[in-house]
Structure formats: C-alpha cells, structure tokens
Amino acid sequence: MSDAPLLDIRNLEVDYRVFGGTLHVLDGIDIRVKPGEKIGLVGETGCGKTTAMKSSLGVLPSPPGLISGGEILYRGKNVLNYGQKKMNSIRGREMTMIFQDPMAALNPVFTVGRQFEPVLRHAAGRRLSGSEVREMSIAALKNVALADPERLLDSYPTQLSGGMRQRVCIGMALSTNPKLLIADEPGTALDVTIQAQVLSLLNGLVDDLNTAIILITHSLGVVREMTDRVYVMYAGVIVETAPVRDLFSNPRHPYTRGLMESVPKLSGGGLSSAIMGRIPDYMHPPGGCRFHPRCPNATEECRHLKPALTTVGTDHEVACHLYGGEKNRAESSGKSAPNGASKESPAGGERTQGRNLHA
C-alpha cells in the first residue's frame, strides 16, 4: 500500500499559555492516516489526544492554545497555513467529528430535523430546498438504523435515548460523506450493550463509505475491536504505534504494557497497578523520556535523552531507549523479543525526522 496519506501530522507541538507559565501539552507528535484507514488514538485523561485532534480540525481554542511547531498536512497541504474560510471548506465536509456526549453536541431547543439543515447546507455549499434537506436527512437516519426517521426528525434531542442521540450524531457526521471522521470517545457515555451496538454500526458505515476514522479513546478494548492501527499517547508524546494485532500480541513500550496490564481481564487474576505515580506536570515535564519517572525500566539515559520512534517490527514503532537500534537492548524486560528490531531501522536512535513510517 503506497497511497499518499490523507492526514499527516508531523512533529506537532502545542503549548497552552496559562497563569504562571507555559504548558507543553504536545511534544512533537506524528500521526499518519491513510484513506479509509481506521486509527485508534489511545491514552489516559490529559495525555493530549483531544488537543491533537482539535489542532487538526483547526478548532484549538486560542488563547490559551498555541501551535508552536510542526505541520498538519491534509492531502499534502499544510492546513496550519489555511485561513478560517479555507479551513471551513474542509471542516464539516471532508473532515467531521463526533463527540463523547451527544447531548452536548445537539442543541436541545431545536428538533433533530432543524439541526440537520445547516450541516447539509454547509456540506453542499449551496442553498437546499426544504424537501431536499428532508430527503437527505431521512436517508442519513436510515443509514444509522434508526426506525421511523420521519417522526425522529420532528422530535427534540431530549426525547431520545443516549444511544439514539449518538446514532443521530453519527448520521449527521456521515451525511456529508467525509473523507475523515474524528470520533472522540463515541461510546464512553453509553452503556456497554449500547456502546457495542453503536460502535459496530459506526464500524460498518465507515467501511461502506471508505471513510478514514480516528477513534480517540481511553479504552484499549474498543480500539482492539475497531481499528487497524493504534497510536499510544502518553503526556503529549506518541510512545508506540503498530498495527492493532501486533500491538496487542506484542506490546513493547513499558507504558503500553502497563496500560494493558491495568485493564481488568475477563479471565480474572486480579488487577495490576503496574503504572506507579501520576501524570507529569506539563509546565515542568520530566526531561528525557517523559515516562521515565513512572517507568520500571528507566535508566540514566532515559532521564536525559528523549527517545525517538524506532522501528522494531513490521510497521511497529516505539519511542523507548530499551529498543535503541544498534544497541538493541530490547530483551531486557519480560515479554517476547522484538524479532528483527533493527532490520528496518538502520539508525534506530536518531531523532524522529525523516523516518519512513509506512515503508
């Protein structure tokens, strides 16, 4: 697969200017999304995953937010140079977003039908007649397997259940046939059986439309069931990225491993509190690897040198000194060896620039 990436975030840095200093929220992240690809972006609260996506959509609140470095290429063009108008022509048409709380995304004082109107008009870029809007919105609601769409259009969001609201939001987001859908914790606010229904619906729809999706979530389970490729984020850094099977069968970064061990298993065996301590202070982030204060395998090197993403397997990259290219000290902590770690990374320890991700 050598098709050009749809969205290519390169070395993105974002700061928040606040009282008393600057929070270095994103410390140079790289994310690449190919057309139709399903990406999972996993990390705990406050790791910067939402900030990264808001920057991509050009809706980062500023102030306090400030993009201080890097570029975001959408179809090869840097959207950071786009003006509001140009950005608007992409956002809501080619890139759309759905949120965790569908109630907050829908306006409670307008009927569902009324809320479809501006979305469809913006996407079409022209005035639409009332009957056109109605037809298109009914089609969109049918798409998300909602029964009786006619009546739904005339009801208010408060009259719907949480699952139905999220379906409406998905229908709205996909009604414009976007190239990229950013889904921020779409199932988190829902009950587990409803979440399963909504996610499987979403999964089927993006497959049919060949829409690329970035699924932001803190749930590893959801990522495993829905995505092709996973990026694991910790404190504003991508610490590991791999195809989903590979990541779950062979996680490399100590943080990824800790995270996986912390998830309560259906197979039982108690809970692990593998990751000690708390997330760092963004005003004074730890030097070197940002994870080192909580890392069980931290060495002197980790305290001073920021590890770069290094290829350790097919399409599998990890930012950790344990897998430092020519030093190749990978076999230091438990899990299976990173076979062929250095094969594809001749200069493993070097900085992230110029790396070849989807070789």
Partner 1 sequence: MPEIILTAKGLKKHFVIGHEDLRRKKPITVKAVDGVDFDLVKGETFGLVGESGSGKSTIAYMVAGMYAPSGGELIYKGKSLFDGKKERPLDFKKDIQIVFQDPGSSLNPRRTIAQNLAVPLQIHRPECDITRETIRLLELVDLPQSYLFRYPNSLSGGEKQIVAVARALATDPSLIILDEPTSALDVSVQGKIINLLMRLQKELDLTYLFITHDLSLMRNIATRVAIMYLGKMSEIAPGGEFFSHPRHPYTRMLLSAIPVVSEEEEKLKPEKAVSRGEIPSPVNLPVGCGFNTRCLQAADVCFRDDPKMKIIRPDHLARCHLLEERS
Q: Please report, as ranges, the residues that interact with partner 1 according to CB under 8 A.
A: 44-45, 161-164, 191-197, 199, 218-222, 224-225, 248, 258-275, 278-279
The distance of closest approach from Cβ of residue 55 to partner 1 in the complex, given in angstroms and rounded to an integer, is 22
The distance of closest approach from Cβ of residue 114 to partner 1 in the complex, given in angstroms and rounded to an integer, is 24
Q: Which is nearer to partner 1, 169 or 275 (CB)?
A: 275
Q: Which stretches of 20-95 are DSSP H helices?
A: 49-57, 84-90
Q: Helices 162-174 and 112-124, interaxial angle, to 10°?
A: 20
Q: Which is nearer to partner 1, 268 or 334 (CB)?
A: 268
**Distance between CA atoms of 330 and 320, rounded to whole angstroms?**
10
The distance of closest approach from Cβ of residue 264 to partner 1 in the complex, given in angstroms and rounded to an integer, is 4
Cβ-proximal residues to 272 (8 Å cutoff; 6+ apart), any chain: 258, 261, 262
Q: Which is nearer to partner 1, 89 or 333 (CB)?
A: 333
- Tokens read off for 39: 């990406």
**Distance between CA atoms of 223 and 13, rounded to whole angstroms?**
25
**Distance between CA atoms of 321 and 308, rounded to whole angstroms?**
8
The distance of closest approach from Cβ of residue 252 to partner 1 in the complex, given in angstroms and rounded to an integer, is 15
Q: Which is nearer to partner 1, 280 or 348 (CB)?
A: 280
DSSP, res 79? G
Q: Which is nearer to partner 1, 258 or 288 (CB)?
A: 258
Is residue 51 within 8 Å of 25, Cβ to Cβ?
A: yes
